[in-house]
Amino acid sequence: MEEKYTQILERIYSEISPLITRGKVADYIPELGKVDPNQFGMSVCTNSGHEYIIGNSQKSFSIQSISKVFTLVLAYSKLDRKLWERVGREPSGTRFDSLVLLENEEGIPRNPFINAGAIVVVDILLDLYEDPINEVLKFVRELSGNEDIFINEKVRDSELECANRNYALTYFMKSFGNIRNDVSTVIEAYTSICSIEMSCVDLARSFRLFSSNGENPWNGKRILTKSQNKRMNAIMMTCGLYNSVGDFAYRVGIPAKSGVGGGIVGVIPNEMSISTWSPCLDKTGNSLAGIKALELFTTYSEQSIY
């Protein structure tokens, strides 16, 4: 068994190599644009406790939108269904930072994985916790077993300098009464959390939560009820890849979340978690080599939820 996954990762790595530098590193955040594009890592954590890695799987990178999963877990585990009064859970069908839907839907973001939705979630965390940035850090450190996870302050500062569109989204939602805290405070917390850096290994370990029915597998602590965990996976499935949700479900077929830093992390419920990283993005803002790697993984391993 162990050999099987080792071989699959090696096969993927060799097939993926020519693709790694295709696509384009996200450069709308200047600091993100400086990353070496020629990198690829992958990590698999099975529920049976095995771990398989390849490439730059231990190199930290900016998790960006993947952080939206962690903030959502923190808010959802506290508020449960009351959360859905302030954010929807339908796929958006548009760009991750569009304001159009927000106008039609009077300030209620379509789902927690578009920027507007994640910003509302951070606004909620600001009311729930004294120091939500630290809370998220503690949470990902606990889930991954890595105390060295940190916020890259250069990235955060670079991102804050080009946060005009997020400011627009947030003020717009505030005009509808769906932001409670000071806009700058919300944006700074949101941006700090996006700037957390983790490796493929860290991410795959963290996502064991979702393959283990909502229990932290490393210490047995229950984070989400079984039902809540199922629902987190459902939301990742239908909203996790912006407007290529359908294409990703079609090609890969697992709940997952991507970030513009080039990371993608997914889960096969009751089986395993899988992460990839490669900085160059396709036109939909997802890691080009990463999506292909996951497609090959579900094909070769015949693991899929369908």
Hey, how many other C-beta atoms are within 10 angstroms of the C-beta on 186? 23
How is 154-180 classified by DSSP, letter by letter? HHHHHHHHT-HHHHHHHHHHHHTT---
Q: Does 128 bind a copy of itself (CB under 8 A)?
A: no
Q: How far is the CB of 46 from a copy of itself (least distance, A)?
A: 17
Q: How far, CA to CA in Å, does 114 sit from each of 9, 89, 139, 299? A: 31, 10, 21, 28
CA distance 160 to 249: 32
Is 186 a known active-site residue?
Answer: no
Is 87 a known active-site residue?
Answer: no
Is 230 a known active-site residue?
Answer: no
Residue span 18-57 as binding mask against a copy of itself, x where in contact by CB under 8 A, dash where not: ----------------------------------------
Q: Does 206 bind a copy of itself (CB under 8 A)?
A: no
Catalytic residue among 57, 62, 65, 301: 65
Closest to a copy of itself by CB, 138 or 230: 230
**Which residue positions form the known binding site for substrate?**
65, 115, 159, 166, 190, 242, 260
Contacting residue, 23, 255, 262, 279, with a copy of itself by CB under 8 A = 255
CA distance 145 to 256: 21
User: What sign for the dihedral angle of Cα 283, 97, 198, 255?
Assistant: negative
Burial 57-74 (b: 16+ CB within 10 A, else e): bebbbbbbbbbbbbbbbb
- Supply the residues annotated as catalytic: 65, 68, 190, 242, 260
Residues that bind a copy of itself (CB under 8 A): 88-94, 98-103, 110-111, 162, 164-165, 167-172, 174-175, 183, 227, 229-231, 233-235, 237-239, 243-247, 249-250, 253, 255, 269, 299, 304-306
